[in-house]
Amino acid sequence: MKEQLLPTLWLIGLSIAMNVLGQTAIKLGVNQPVGATLAAANPMAVVSWVVRSPLIMLGLLMHGVGALAWIVVLSRLDLSYAYPFVAVNFVLVAIVSQVVLSETVPALRWLGIALICGGLTLVALSAS
């Protein structure tokens, strides 16, 4: 397993990056003026709008790339070891939300994110 761990960690990183970038692109897409009016629209109007939104489609494509990388990760690592790394998404999304989207992230949320980081450290140290 050790010989596969480093390349697999890169794939975990790719999956996480694609998911964070995908979420950011989708959020930017739904922040467009049309997105606000469609939030309460019927499902077919939303689907029609989504397929015409370059940012949302880019976000979905990024999620697809992340999913493909994740499939390779799961073929190489135990699920119980790999899956906790998905929590890195929460950490990075909070940072991107504050820095890129100018959202307010309250102190209590940062405390929760710090706890997530502690748990991830323990999981990473458990590699056999």
Tokens of 114: 């710090």
CA 23 to chain centre: 6
Segments making up each domain of the chain, as ranges: 2-125
Residue with tokens 């820095």: 99
Per-residue pLDDT of the chain (128 residues; tens, 9 = 90+): 556 677 888 999 999 999 999 999 999 998 887 665 666 667 787 788 888 899 999 999 999 999 999 999 999 999 988 888 899 999 999 999 999 999 999 999 999 999 999 998 898 888 76
pLDDT of residue 15: 97
Q: Are 70 and 15 in contact (CB under 8 A)?
A: yes
